[in-house]
Amino acid sequence: MPIEKLALPDVYSAKQKIAPIARRTPLAASQALRATTGAEVRLKLENQQVTGSFKIRGAANKLFSLTKAERGRGVITVSSGNHGRALAYAAQELGVRATICVAKTVPENKVQAIQALGAELIVAGENADEAMEQADKLQAERGLTMVHPFDDLEIIAGQGSIAVEIIEDFADLDTVIVPLSGGGLLSGIAFAIKMVAPKVRVVGVSMERGPAMVESLKAGKIIDIVEEPTLADALAGGLNKDNRFTLPLVRDYMDEAVLVSEDEIAEAVYFCLEAHQMVVEGGGAVGVAALLSKKVEDLGERVAVVLSGANISVQTLRKIMAERENAA
Ligand SMILES: *Cc1c(COP(=O)(O)O)cnc(C)c1O
């Protein structure tokens, strides 16, 4: 039975179900961020997750929820890269056929990683909206199950398992900082946190270039944004027009939204490398960017930051390092 409304037990059961496929990631103290913010900051290392991002959690939970017949027919999705890779991996593990539609804007390193996992890759459209149209068409033609990257309760419950781990590892935390795009990650984390520890503040961070969720919340309806190139490519793309779950969940459970610039994202990626010897992609580093730029209004003393992914190309990483060294 598909879930109709999110409940806390769904998040706990997701955590159990995905355990054979996804890692329980570490929550690592950051001395460097303590020095810059004065708060005790811990990093949730989803950059060390299987497939290089948290998206394996939702994808695995969704596949486990399907009937045998649905698994037999196969699944399809549209992705800015990390969700497609995660679904391809989980599908391979469970012996399910996966079709992944991506727009032409998706970085080459992410496209190659999807192909290497044996999924059928379809490059369709100039942007995420066009790729979604193609995916919807194929889904109907081939009788596949759509695994939406964020607006799906099984996906949201899977991503929410991160909150359960944070709460287990970090007593009395004040604030959790979460990258925000379609809002599957933030919905799951914010919902679970508020059910267990309602005083914890949840801060969402998007990039200034095309923050679809933040604009839509302001307008009170789905806003079409123009997709621009950004270092936070994992956060690019709009909300689905028929959004059912993530817009209301983010609206109800997020306390504060912060936007970060391209320079601030580059600085954060560099910081993760320099201070922690960790490779974090732009979209994964926006929480650190929000801290370094001191944009979070009400930080508190004990802060968890989700580093949501690692999948940056070597070329982009080299560019960020070179620009930083030229500026110095
Ligand atoms: C998908 C993704 C996000 C955003 O997740 P949403 O559920 O779409 O808000 C953040 N960081 C990384 C690395 C991602 O791949």
The string of pLDDT tens digits covering residues 126-155 is: 888 889 899 999 999 999 999 999 999 999
Told to judge if 161 belongs to the known catalytic residues of this protein, a careful annotator would answer: no
* DSSP letter (8 states) at residue 175: E
Would you state the pLDDT for residue 80?
84
Residue 57 structure tokens: 């959690």
pLDDT score, position 325: 84
In this predicted structure, what is the pLDDT of residue 1? 58
**C-alpha of residue 143 to centroid of ligand 1, in Å:** 27
- Pick out the chain residues at pLDDT < 70: 1-2
Contact predicate 16/156, CB 8 Å? no
- With b for 16 or more beta-carbon neighbours within 10 A and e for fewer, the 173-185 pattern comes to bbbbbbbbbbbbb
pTM > 0.85: yes or no: yes
Return d(Cα 64, Cα 311) in angstroms, integer.
Answer: 25
65 in active site: no
What pLDDT score was predicted for residue 327?
Answer: 82
Nearest CA to ligand 1 atom 8: 182
| pLDDT digits 0-9 by tens, 38-85 | 999 999 999 999 999 999 999 999 999 999 999 999 999 999 899 999
Residues in contact with ligand 1 (CB, 6 Å cut-off): 53, 55, 82-83, 150, 179-186, 234-235, 281, 283-284, 308-309
For a mutational test of ligand 1's pocket, the pick from 82, 85, 203, i.e. the residue with the most ligand atoms closer than 8 A to its C-beta, is 82
The predicted pLDDT at position 2 comes to 67
**Cα–Cα distance measured from residue 20 to residue 283, given in angstroms and rounded to the nearest whole number:** 26
Reading the block at residue 302, the tokens are: 């004990």
